[in-house]
Amino acid sequence: MKAIYPGSFDPFTNGHLDIVERALKVVDGVVIAVLNNSSKKSLLNIDQRIELIGEVLHNYGNRIEVKSFTGLLVDFCRTQKTHVVIRGLRAVSDFDYEHAIFLMNRKMYPEFETLFFMSSSENSFISSTIIKEVASLGGKVTDQVPEAVNRKLLEIYPGKNPV
Ligand code: PNS
């Protein structure tokens, strides 16, 4: 069974990596679906995000595909011929939002299912927003993002984010 892991991934963090690696123990393949939302200001453009995720996950070969999507997630699911989505839950605070989008997606696509993976405790405080803020202010994020992502952040904020 193939599942879709959708998100903004701006940037891809160790929290995302943990969810993908655990999902691969449950499903045969994962399509990482990177939301291409031109109205949302992002640090990394869509090509940079796709390239970084591909680099981080290259060891998994054809069990991982990285694609961009626009529009509704349920429409993208249909084009990929799957009705299963993966999402991570970090804390109770994630639940309300995830519950609402799950119910709405199911309304539009009755077969739709979400597999929720609880974040590991060491990743439960990581968010892309916090990573961007810390990196931009010169803080160290080496323990929270894959090496390739850290390299990209150092390129964007040169000399500030210590290795
Ligand atoms: O990483 P994020 O930003 O929490 O991911 C949110 C995402 C991309 C899963 C969600 O915004 C989404 O599915 N957007 C696509 C548009 C859509 O289908 N919206 C309707 C959900 S009710």
Identify the pLDDT of residue 38.
83
Residue 81 in any domain: the answer is yes
Distance of CA 122 from the midpoint of ligand 1 (Å): 24
Domain containing residue 119: CATH number: 3.40.50.620
State pLDDT tens for residues 29-59. Answer: 999 999 998 888 999 999 999 999 999 999 9
Whether the Cβ atoms of residue 64 and residue 57 lie closer than 8 Å to each other = yes
Total tally of structural domains belonging to the chain: 1
- Percent of the chain predicted with pLDDT > 90: 92
How many Å lie between the centroid of ligand 1 and the Cα of residue 47? Answer: 18
CB contact at 8 A, 10 and 132: yes
> Which residue's CA is the closest to the ligand 1 atom numbered 6?
7
Domain that holds residue 22: 2-124
Residue 134 domain flag: no
What pLDDT shows up at residue 158? 84
| Cβ of residue 35 lying under 6 Å from some atom of ligand 1 | yes
Please tell me the pTM assigned to this model: 0.96
User: Is the predicted pLDDT of residue 159 greater than 80, yes or no?
Assistant: no
Count CB atoms within 10 A of the CB of residue 102.
16
